């Protein structure tokens, strides 16, 4: 029944789009409405455009789920607001898309709208961040990063660095510029640094949200430097915050770098998507970046293809990630008994 109604709607949309294209000659607008009955229609609710990682992720999704690949992607930018994302999902349900892909801004608050999608028989694929729902049948599967593991690797690197340089734990004074509160990336990365500070005896001076943006990262770091005079490590929960923090540190006349014994402030970060961030690693401005891989488009596409052919994709799909460093003579790390490789950024990169 749902199938029949949907086909009728698609036919109507096709007729309407053709009329519109003839009437106004605007191919770009009209092409959004042109629906091929054979195409797989996907509604994608993206968090926003807060970071370079996010741009890369959006591009990856758009490229993989393109018209030429046989998909129609209805893209919605949630502008970092959960209410916008909920509205987008409700629209996708009304439009009777074949699949909903959701990159949730925060983990909580999704039960009701995901139940609506389930009632409408539309599979929901989560990408990047996770949701915290009572019933995990409300989503079909998830693909993304292990954010806590990323943090464990970065903090294991810092521990190894301090051991090599004979820096005592009580001499390590860390501020944390957090991502937007309640996002999986913030939850995992904040837990990682808090646990490490407890375990290794480092001083966690303060933690404030930097929204994953450069502007907020700069603002937060500027305030930290006004309030505390002992900071020697800034742990930024993404590279855009790190860019802002570096600006604030340099504006204050302090050098960024790993030589914390001689007054430098060490910058640690996550993502490694932007070329400048990797350039900064090479220059020593960022000491270590925990990789966060944004290329989920092909992964989501393969999940959709599996579902479309009646298959059952794995419920939780973690991506493999590395650590980007330069010249610290640390070549691998052991976290939870497992050895992880490190990517040395050199001139050939
Ligand atoms: O959820 C992934 C995180 O979100 C990335 O680390 C960050 O840059 C983005 O905004």
User: Helices 214-227 & 239-251, crossing angle to 10 degrees?
Assistant: 40
Q: How confident is the model at residue 20 (pLDDT cuts 50, 70, 90)?
A: very low
Mean pLDDT, range 14-25, rounded to an integer: 38
Residues in the chain: 349
Half-sphere exposure of 208 (CA within 13 A, CB side): 19
Ligand 1 centroid to residue 283 C-alpha, Å: 23
Q: What is the mean pLDDT of residues 142-171?
A: 97
Atom in ligand 1 nearest the alpha carbon of residue 128: 1
Number of other CB atoms surrounding residue 148 within 10 Å: 17
Of the pLDDT bands very low, low, confident and very high (cuts 50, 70, 90), residue 348 is low
The model's pLDDT over 41-61, given as tens digits with 9 standing for 90+, comes to 999 999 999 999 999 999 999
CB atoms within 10 A of CB 254: 15
Question: How far is ligand 1, taken at its centre, from the CA of residue 99, in Å?
Answer: 23
Q: Is 21 a residue whose pLDDT tops 80?
A: no
Q: Inform me whether the pLDDT recorded for 33 exceeds 60.
A: no
Pairing mode of beta strands 173-178, 332-335? unpaired
pTM exceeds 0.75, yes or no: yes
Mean pLDDT of the chain: 91
For residue 248, report the distance from its CA to the centre of ligand 1, in Å: 21
Task: Extract long-range pairs of 58-67: CB within 8 Å, 24+ residues apart.
Answer: 59/297, 60/294, 60/295, 60/296, 60/297, 60/298, 61/101, 61/127, 61/296, 61/297, 61/300, 62/297, 63/297, 64/297, 64/298, 64/300, 64/301, 65/297, 65/300, 65/301, 65/304, 67/39
The encoded tokens of residue 119 equal 């009632």
**H or E element: which one contains 202?**
none
- What domains are there in the chain, each with its CATH number? 36-145+294-318 (3.40.50.2300), 147-292+322-344 (3.40.50.2300)
Query: Best of 48, 57, 190, 271 to mutate for ligand 1, by most ligand atoms within 8 A of CB?
Result: 271
Strand 173-178 relative to strand 124-128: parallel, antiparallel, unpaired?
Answer: unpaired
- E runs forming strands in 96-240: 99-102, 124-128, 141-144, 173-178, 203-209, 233-236
**Band of pLDDT at residue 334, cut at 50, 70 and 90:** very high
The answer to whether residues 47 and 104 touch, using CB atoms and an 8 Å cutoff, is yes
């Amino acid at each position: 029944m749902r199938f029949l109604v949907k086909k009728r709607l698609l036919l109507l949309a096709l007729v309407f789009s053709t009329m519109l294209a003839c009437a106004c000659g605007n191919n770009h607008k009209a092409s959004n409405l042109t629906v091929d009955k054979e195409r797989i229609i996907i509604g994608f609710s993206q968090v926003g455009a807060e970071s370079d990682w996010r741009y890369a992720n959006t591009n990856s999704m758009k490229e993989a789920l393109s018209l030429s690949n046989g998909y129609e992607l209805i893209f919605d930018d949630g502008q970092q607001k959960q209410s916008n994302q909920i509205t987008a999902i409700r629209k996708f349900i009304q439009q009777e898309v074949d699949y909903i892909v959701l990159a949730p801004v925060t983990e909580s608050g999704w039960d009701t709208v995901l139940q609506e999608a389930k009632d409408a028989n539309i599979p929901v694929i989560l990408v990047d961040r996770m949701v915290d729902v009572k019933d995990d049948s409300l989503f079909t599967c998830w693909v993304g990063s292990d954010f806590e593991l990323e943090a464990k690797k970065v903090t294991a690197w810092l521990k190894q660095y301090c051991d090599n340089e004979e820096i005592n734990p009580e001499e390590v004074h860390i501020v944390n510029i957090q991502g937007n509160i309640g996002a999986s990336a913030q939850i995992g990365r904040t837990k990682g640094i808090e646990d490490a500070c407890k375990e290794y005896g480092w001083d966690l001076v303060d933690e404030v949200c930097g929204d994953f943006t450069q502007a907020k990262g700069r603002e937060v770091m500027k305030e930290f430097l006004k309030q505390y005079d002992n900071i020697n490590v800034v742990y930024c929960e993404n590279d855009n915050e790190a860019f802002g923090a570096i600006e604030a540190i340099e504006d204050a006349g302090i050098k960024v770098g790993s030589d914390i014994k001689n007054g430098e402030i060490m910058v640690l970060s996550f993502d490694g998507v932007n070329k400048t961030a990797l350039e900064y690693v090479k220059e020593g401005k960022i000491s270590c970046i925990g990789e966060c891989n944004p290329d989920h488009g092909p992964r989501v596409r393969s999940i959709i293809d599996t579902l479309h052919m009646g298959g059952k994709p794995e419920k939780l799909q973690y991506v493999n990630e590395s650590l980007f460093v330069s010249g610290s003579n640390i070549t691998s790390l052991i976290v939870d008994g497992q050895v992880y490789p490190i990517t040395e950024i050199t001139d050939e990169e």
